[in-house]
């Protein structure tokens, strides 16, 4: 289920499978919901394993695991 997209304006690479995005639009999720994170022209499907509430200006760390799951922390 696509809940929405997080538009980001800053990317900081922290390794081959971890980077930080600065959120430039509102996105609120409840546990278990899916979302789409827009990284440039690429959209990554994300699953929120815990409460995720990103506001404009927040930084979000996106981690890609070998199963192509995306975990989010604010």
Q: What are the residue boundaries of the structural domains of the chain, listed by start?
A: 5-73
Please provide the average confidence, as pLDDT, over all residues in the chain. 50
Task: For residue range 21-33, list pLDDT tens digits in order.
Answer: 554 444 444 444 5
Q: What is the pLDDT of residue 61?
A: 60
CATH of domain 5-73: 2.40.50
Q: What is the pLDDT of residue 1?
A: 26
Is residue 35 within 8 Å of residue 7, measured between CB atoms? no
Is residue 25 within 8 Å of residue 58, measured between CB atoms? no
pLDDT in tens, the chain (74 residues): 233 444 444 455 555 555 555 544 444 444 445 555 555 555 555 554 444 555 555 556 655 544 444 444 44
Beta strands in 1-74 (DSSP E): 5-6, 8-13, 18-23, 27-29, 34-39, 42-47, 52-54, 59-64, 70-73
């Amino acid at each position: 289920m696509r809940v929405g997209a997080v538009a980001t304006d800053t990317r900081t690479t922290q390794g081959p499978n971890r980077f930080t995005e600065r959120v430039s639009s509102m996105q609120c999720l409840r546990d278990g919901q899916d979302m789409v994170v827009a990284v440039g022209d690429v959209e990554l499907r994300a699953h929120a394993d815990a409460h995720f509430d990103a506001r404009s200006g927040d930084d979000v760390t996106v981690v890609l695991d070998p199963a192509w799951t995306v975990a989010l922390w604010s």
